[in-house]
Amino acid sequence: MFNWEIRKLRVVEMIKETNPDIIAFQEVRMDAVGVRSQLLELQDMLADYHWMVVQPANEVQKMKHTYWKGWEREGIGMLSKLAIIKSTTISIPYMSGPDTNQRIALHAIIGEEEETAVNVLTVHFSYDRQQQCNNAARIMNYISEKHLDNVILLGDFNTYSDFEWPLRIFTDKSLKPVNLCYDMVMPEAKRPKIIFSDVWQSKPKQTASGLTFSNMPTPGYESRPDRILVSKHFQIVSSSLLGNGIIYREKFKYNIYWNRLRLVISSSYNSFRGIYGYSCIQDCGPRGSCRCGFRVLQRLFPFIKSPMPCLLFCFFINLIFLTLASYIFSSSLYTVFQVMAEEFYPSDHLMLTSKLELKSH
């Protein structure tokens, strides 16, 4: 949700540039009441994507004293140029562990006829390693039980570079007890009829790392949670990563600055009217930088009865702080922004794509 009104412009731009037939999304926000969702807003801006499926999984945990309404749910979804014949929500039961978020998967049958269609499954696995085992086992069991063929499995697997056991449930020819997820997979799925290939690792000339995630404060990309896995009847023609934070920063920074200023003015006006609390529809940075601290200023200077003096005071305080910070930490800030460009406005700003051809069989 970081600056969604601006970020969706870049998302649409990237989709138009790559022109995929099917797109999977995770952490999609939507309203608890009504039909508004981020996917619906994107669909309105993308004329060729007539088919959409979206499913909420969790209620969004709002900050304390939040007074805005909307975007209360979060889930996963797909946009498609091709007909979605049927879609199914796959529930992933919570077993145990620190991650109490409800995890689901979406299964869409996409094509002209069900007999020749492809089975597309999108997932968003847990961040906890052992719970990832449960997530992966549930999906592999589902694929085995339904005897699915022509399968594309994609999404955010939250994979750690030192814990790929959940992914190997899909890519190993047979599951061995050495796999730390072994006990969670049902017997018939331990020797699966479908073996998946990772599109990024399947091209012998692929030299790039394929890393897509950077976790503050670690600089640079450090893991590859975003994957596209395909069954054997797909020929992997190509795979690529598009986008980075530099493009987003240079093209949209003034839009973002204006959006944040607009939020500050709106928040100040609400405070002047006696409406206090967390005002931003989304987090606007690691420190919630879209907020100006108007309420704090009123408490420090109760004689200020109008929002305009507070805005001016806030503006000059921020200007002085940024000037000093830029002077003192200029070399450090330059290094961080160069090495970790994707974190300029905290997001990876990357899209993983793959061109596939379905073999005749």
Q: 348: pLDDT confidence band, cut at 50, 70 and 90?
A: low
> Does residue 308 surpass a pLDDT of 70?
no
Q: Is the CB of residue 137 less than 8 Å from the CB of residue 110?
A: no
> Does residue 220 surpass a pLDDT of 70?
no
Q: What dotted CATH number matches 4-237+353-358? A: 3.60.10.10
Instruction: At 217, list the tokens.
Output: 């404060």
Q: What does each C-alpha distance from 50 to 27, 57, 114, 227 come to in angstroms?
A: 21, 23, 18, 25
Point out the least confidently predicted range of 20-24, 114-118, 191-195, 269-273.
269-273
Instruction: At 334, list the tokens.
Output: 């330059």
Where along the chain do its domains lie?
Answer: 4-237+353-358, 246-342
Instruction: At 31, list the tokens.
Output: 């309203």
Q: 284: pLDDT confidence band, cut at 50, 70 and 90?
A: very low
Buried b / exposed e along 251-278 (16+ C-beta atoms within 10 A): ebeeebeebbeebbeebbebbbeeeeeb
Q: What is the mean pLDDT of residues 324-351?
A: 56
Point out the least confidently predicted range of 3-7, 25-29, 194-198, 212-216.
212-216
Mention every residue, 6+ apart, whose C-beta is less than 8 A from residue 297: 304, 310, 313, 314
pTM, full prediction:
0.83
| Interatomic CA distance for residues 342 and 208, integer angstroms | 17
Q: What is the mean pLDDT of residues 35-60?
A: 96
Point out the least confidently predicted range of 15-24, 106-115, 160-169, 214-223.
214-223
